[in-house]
Homo-oligomer: A and B are copies of this chain.
Amino acid sequence: MRGGVRAVLQDLLRGHAPRSYSSSAAEAPAVRPPRDRILTLQSMNPQVRAVEYAVRGPIVVKAGEIERELQQGIKKPFSEVIKANIGDAHAMGQQPITFLRQVVALCTYPDLLDSPRFPEDAKVRARRILESCGGQSLGSYSASQGVTCIREDVARYIERRDGGVPADPDNIFLTTGASDGIASILKILVSGEGNSRTGVMIPIPQYPLYSAAISELNAVQVNYYLDEDHCWALDVNELKRALNQAKQYSNPKVLCIINPGNPTGQVQSRRCIEEVIHFAWKEGLFLLADEVYQDNVYSQDCQFHSFKKVLYEMGPEYSSNVELASFHSTSKGYMGECGYRGGYMEVLNLHPDIKAQLVKMLSVRLCPPVSGQAAMDVVVNPPQPNEDSYPQFIQEKEAVLSTLAHKAKLTEELFNQVPGIKCNPLQGAMYAFPRVFIPPCAVEKAEELQMAPDMFYCMRLLEETGICVVPGSGFGQRDGTFHFRMTILPPVEKLRHLLQSVKDFHIRFLEEFS
Cross-interface CB contact of A11 among B38, B48, B108, B270, cutoff 8 Å: B270
User: Are A361 and B180 touching (Cβ within 8 A)?
Assistant: no
Q: Which residue of B lies closest to A55 (CB)?
A: B363
User: Are A371 and B339 touching (Cβ within 8 A)?
Assistant: yes
User: Are B135 and A92 touching (Cβ within 8 A)?
Assistant: yes
User: Are B104 and A111 touching (Cβ within 8 A)?
Assistant: no
In this complex, which of A29, A40, A176 has the most chain B Cβ atoms within 10 angstroms of its Cβ?
A: A176
User: Are A90 and B281 touching (Cβ within 8 A)?
Assistant: no
Does A277 sit at the interface, judged by CB under 8 A? yes
Does A367 sit at the interface, judged by CB under 8 A? yes
Does A284 sit at the interface, judged by CB under 8 A? yes
User: Are A286 and B38 touching (Cβ within 8 A)?
Assistant: yes
User: Are A37 and B163 touching (Cβ within 8 A)?
Assistant: no
Task: Identify which of A345-353, A397-405, A438-446 touches chain B.
Answer: A345-353
Residues 36-71 of A at the B interface (beta carbon under 8 Å): 37-41, 43-46, 48-49, 51-53, 55-57
User: Are A365 and B177 touching (Cβ within 8 A)?
Assistant: yes
Does A481 sit at the interface, judged by CB under 8 A? no
In this complex, which of A24, A93, A180 has the most chain B Cβ atoms within 10 angstroms of its Cβ?
A: A24
User: Are A40 and B179 touching (Cβ within 8 A)?
Assistant: no
What is the CB-to-nearest-CB distance from A95 to chain B, in angstroms, rounded to a whole number?
8
Number of interface residues of A (CB under 8 A): 140
Cross-interface CB contact of A7 among B27, B191, B216, B313, cutoff 8 Å: B313
Collect the chain B residues with CB atoms within 8 Å of residue A217's CB.
45
User: Are A134 and B88 touching (Cβ within 8 A)?
Assistant: yes
Collect the chain B residues with CB atoms within 8 Å of residue A189's CB.
39, 44-45
Collect the chain B residues with CB atoms within 8 Å of residue A86's CB.
141
Give how many copies assemble into the complex. 2
Given the known inter-chain contacts A6-B163, A92-B135, A369-B369, please indicate yes or no for A357 contacting B44, CB distance below 8 A.
yes
User: Are A88 and B140 touching (Cβ within 8 A)?
Assistant: yes
Q: Which residue of B lies closest to A185 (CB)?
A: B39
Cβ proximity bits A80-92 to B, threshold 8 Å, 1 near / 0 not: 0000001011111
Residues 306-338 of A at the B interface (beta carbon under 8 Å): 309, 312-318, 320-321, 323, 335-338
Given the known inter-chain contacts A16-B270, A271-B20, please indicate yes or no for A370 contacting B37, CB distance below 8 A.
no
Tell me the bound Cα distance from A19 to B353 in angstroms: 33
Cross-interface CB contact of A39 among B165, B313, B316, B354, cutoff 8 Å: B354
Collect the chain B residues with CB atoms within 8 Å of residue A338's CB.
139-141, 366
Tell me the bound Cα distance from A370 to B354 in angstroms: 31
Q: Which residue of B lies closest to A282 (CB)?
A: B27
User: Are A1 and B164 touching (Cβ within 8 A)?
Assistant: yes
Collect the chain B residues with CB atoms within 8 Å of residue A238's CB.
none
Given the known inter-chain contacts A101-B108, A277-B21, please indicate yes or no for A1 contacting B312, CB distance below 8 A.
yes
Collect the chain B residues with CB atoms within 8 Å of residue A418's CB.
none
Residues 123-163 of A at the B interface (beta carbon under 8 Å): 133-135, 137-142, 144, 162-163
User: Are A91 and B321 touching (Cβ within 8 A)?
Assistant: no
Cross-interface CB contact of A17 among B28, B41, B271, B312, cutoff 8 Å: B271
Cross-interface CB contact of A354 among B41, B188, B253, cutoff 8 Å: B41
User: Are A139 and B253 touching (Cβ within 8 A)?
Assistant: no
Does A117 sit at the interface, judged by CB under 8 A? yes
Tell me the bound Cα distance from A25 to B209 in angstroms: 32
Cβ proximity bits A248-272 to B, threshold 8 Å, 1 near / 0 not: 0000010000000000000001110
Residues 259-297 of A at the B interface (beta carbon under 8 Å): 269-271, 274-275, 277-278, 281-282, 284-286
Instruction: List 6 A-B pairs, Cβ < 8 Å.
Output: A21-B277, A24-B274, A39-B350, A48-B188, A90-B134, A104-B109
**Which of A's residues lie within 8 Å of B, judged by CB?**
1-4, 6-8, 11, 16-17, 19-22, 24-25, 27-32, 34-35, 37-41, 43-46, 48-49, 51-53, 55-57, 86, 88-94, 96, 101-102, 104-105, 108-109, 111-112, 115, 117, 133-135, 137-142, 144, 162-165, 176-177, 179-180, 183, 187-191, 208-209, 212-213, 216-217, 253, 269-271, 274-275, 277-278, 281-282, 284-286, 305, 309, 312-318, 320-321, 323, 335-341, 349-351, 353-354, 357, 360-361, 363-372
Q: Ordered nearest first, which 9 A-B pairs have the shortest CB separation?
A: A3-B163, A91-B134, A339-B370, A21-B274, A3-B164, A105-B109, A90-B137, A56-B363, A369-B369
